[in-house]
Amino acid sequence: MNESTTTHNGRWVCMDRKEAIRSRGVFFGNSPFKYATSILYVQLSISALLTSFLQWILNPLGQSAFISQMLAGIVLGPSVIGFDNVFVKTVFPRTSFYVSGTFAFFGCMLFMFLVGVKIDLGSITNSGKRALAIGLCCFFIPLLLNTSLALILQRTVKMEPVLHKSIISIAVFQSSSSFYVTACLLTDLKLLNSELGRLAVSSSMISGMLSWIVLVLGFMVRQSTLGVGFTLPFMAISLCFMLVVIVFILRPVMRSMVRHANRGRAVKESYIFSVFVMVLCCAFLGEFIGQHFMLGPMILGLAVPDGPPLGTALVDKLDSYVSLILLPSYFVFSGASINLPSIQMKTFGIVWLLVLSSFFAKLIGAVVPSLLCKMPVVDALALGLVLSAQGITDILIWQHGMMLLLIDQQSYSIMVIATMVLTGTITPIVRLLYDPSKRYVSTKKRNIEHASEHDSELRLLACIHRQDNTPSIIRLLEVSNATMKNPICFYVVHLIRLAGRSTPLLITHRPGERNSSHSNQSNYIINAFQLFEQQNYGKVMMTAITAMAPCASMHDDICSLALEKRVCMVIVPFHKNWSHHGADDALTSNPLRTVNLNILKNAPCSVGILVDRGAFSSTISLSSKTPYSVGMFFVEGPDDREALAYAIRMAEQPNVSITLVRLRDSSEESQGSNSGDDKNKQLDSDMIGKFKSVAKEAGKKRHHFKDKRVKNSVEVISAVRSMANSCDLILVGRRHSSESSLFVGLTEWNEYPELGFIGDVLASADIKYGVSLLVVQQQSFEGQNNEPYSPRYFIMNNASAGSVHVDIHRVHDYKGKVKLDSKETNRKSIGV
């Protein structure tokens, strides 16, 4: 019988090679559990399904994917199911470890390559002094404190010889940190592009890079002692040779691929194939020169031009398969090295002491410099917790250290369990401590209604998801009546989904500057708005910004910019795209809808959702004499007043005609009202009176006002549809009371709550006309209910029209610059 032998945990394992690869099936009497290929399929399936199941259970508890992955490995290891010899011999026999281990480490190799692809080394050089100080402290303080403690324990405490020899290595491993772990944790917490997240990413870049340098040098020294003769100089020269090959040969090749990639099209398969071959060659070269096989692919990943098109294409091709299929098998393979019952209490106590020492040292290294830089205590503590977390890349390093006999299996098991406990504890605490949405609450009026009273410039911020949004936004600017006396200060933000990198980007484009490679996607959009600015010189002042962030936290950039730039209204395009044939249903589940909902919930100013159905963006330019028709439905409340304030500004544009239709309940006179309702109605009447004055001054019957009595929702829908075929753009308020008889029955049929009752009717597929729509939500203050169907909505929003006492003072961001300009000294809930 032909047999091959391998070792597993120091034991010899015999493998029968006769028909050991592929089974012919149960109908030929072959058990699938006795063949390497069949068992590999079963192991990959079980590990992937168990990991997904545990993630589904732990996700509501706010736990990261790392916890579920490690739990799956422990459950399938000798600590839990591994006690069942029948299950182990059937599904995880030792003879299968030769093949499954190869697949697991192949997955780790691709994973480390993707880690390198997602890291942007340029952000290290762009780190501010704050991030540099925190990063250096988070590296040196834990390293010095932990190694000192390890030396003291080594000399004073009696311990096992294996632990005595490896305690210094344990201290160094626990002191290390990883940028990728920090970025993943921030992504899970949806804080990646918050102020705290950006500072944490920059700081972890510095501490993580220093940690990797120390670890690579340490591994080289260790391997040289295990080699034959004095091999350290040759290993160092070989490592430098590999770096030269990657940086000066392979990176230029990949940059050439980026230059030759067709703009807007998928990257050629030949380019992807070439990079995959490079990954395999770098892994082989690393093994050949005595380095870990994952070092070469990770360095190659760092050399890949980050972001689109190449970096994004590689991540899209590999990320899901590696993280959902191959990586769980690695955790199962590593779980076989964790045997909880074999852990001795004394060893457990010593290792845990080093773990806690490094944890608190990292916490101190982050908190102290943060406090010295005037950061709030709670934010500094949250930052320290984030930077203290460890994860999968640390475990990969520890496994390599175990292979080099730097640590033993028992210490490795304790370190993994400690990492799971601390990371699982850190995640919910950070969620509790840091809520970025609280920083967007403005107590100063930032809306068009207030700005119109002071005859000041109109400050707008518009979001662009794709190039198709550009014409409709430019058209809206044209009808907004920018003049030399009342100019428009406009910020256009091109939102790009973060892909191919882990660090978010926020780029401000200066006129005449050469755009970076990150902003190539924004060039056409920027050029269009810059041309519009030139055509309206002195009337429109435009600033173009590119924001690359995850969709789940993309609103953080918008809200921060709106607050910092003192914007009156944020304009976002509706997530659903319309063509001449109707709505594009493929986009209805787009994550961009989540972005819009988050902006509506957290924006520190008014918000407008622009629904472009074709006619708006295709109308003849206003430079001609062609009139432009704008309609407005007014019911009641602050949202309607905000929309009307915008319409009044449009009414001063010579080529724009406004038709205002006030919808009133025919039975409202017989109903009682409280003082809050009376005040609200008075404000409504004042705003309508202002429109009538503007219409009278315009003359020539350009603007029209209609007071329409309606009984129920049927008559409301009829009135709305009657205007849809005669207007290019219709303005409506978003929030109205669901208890009003005018909207009875519409609540149940409201498909898009972000558009409100009337907006949802106008945006429905039943409206065949190409009328576009702007749904307006007025700024909400702290303490107000922001839900569209709340019965208490009007009561709580009465305060928005009253006076709000605020004291102006400076609020510093994490770079020490003045960022925000208003905050209420006495934080009181505004309401009745």
Gap between the Cα atoms of 643 and 777, Å rounded: 8
- 494-516 mean pLDDT: 75
Give me the amino acid identity at 827: R
Q: Give strand pairing partners of 578.
A: 583
CB atoms closer than 10 angstroms to residue 651: 23
In this structure, of 537-546, 596-605, 690-699, the range with the lowest mean pLDDT score is 690-699
Do β-strands 811-812 and 818-820 pair in parallel, antiparallel, or remain unpaired? antiparallel
Q: pLDDT digit string (tens) for 414-426?
A: 999 999 899 889 9
What does R_g of the chain's alpha carbons equal in angstroms?
31
Q: pLDDT digit string (tens) for 516-540?
A: 555 566 788 888 888 888 888 888 9
In this structure, of 172-181, 540-549, 719-728, the range with the lowest mean pLDDT score is 719-728
Q: pLDDT digit string (tens) for 139-177?
A: 999 999 999 999 999 898 888 888 888 899 999 999 988
Task: Find the angle CA(808)-CA(813)-CA(817) to the nearest 5 degrees.
Answer: 80
Does 96 or 481 have the greater pLDDT score?
481
Percent of the chain past pLDDT 70, that is, above it, reads 79
- 186-194 mean pLDDT: 82
- 81-101 mean pLDDT: 73
Q: Are 282 and 300 in contact (CB under 8 A)?
A: yes
Q: pLDDT digit string (tens) for 286-303?
A: 888 877 788 889 889 888
Burial of 25 (0-12, 13-18, 19+ CB in 10 A): exposed
* Cα first-last separation, the chain: 88
Tokens at 517, concatenated? 């490679």
pLDDT at 789: 39
Query: In which residue are the tokens 């340029």 written?
Result: 122
The CATH fold of domain 440-820? Rossmann fold (3.40.50)
Closest CA to 720 of 766, 675, 688, 657: 766
Do β-strands 729-733 and 11-16 pair in parallel, antiparallel, or remain unpaired? unpaired
pLDDT band per the 50, 70, 90 thresholds, residue 314: confident
Chain center to CA of 36 = 40
At residue 395, the 3 state secondary structure works out as: helix
Given a cut of 60, whether residue 588 has pLDDT beyond it is: no
Residue ranges per structural domain of the chain: 3-434, 440-820
Q: Are 461 and 565 in contact (CB under 8 A)?
A: yes
User: What's the pTM value of the predicted model, to 2 decimals?
Assistant: 0.76
In the CATH scheme, what is the code of domain 3-434?
1.20.1530.20
pLDDT at 519: 52
Gap between the Cα atoms of 297 and 281, Å rounded: 9
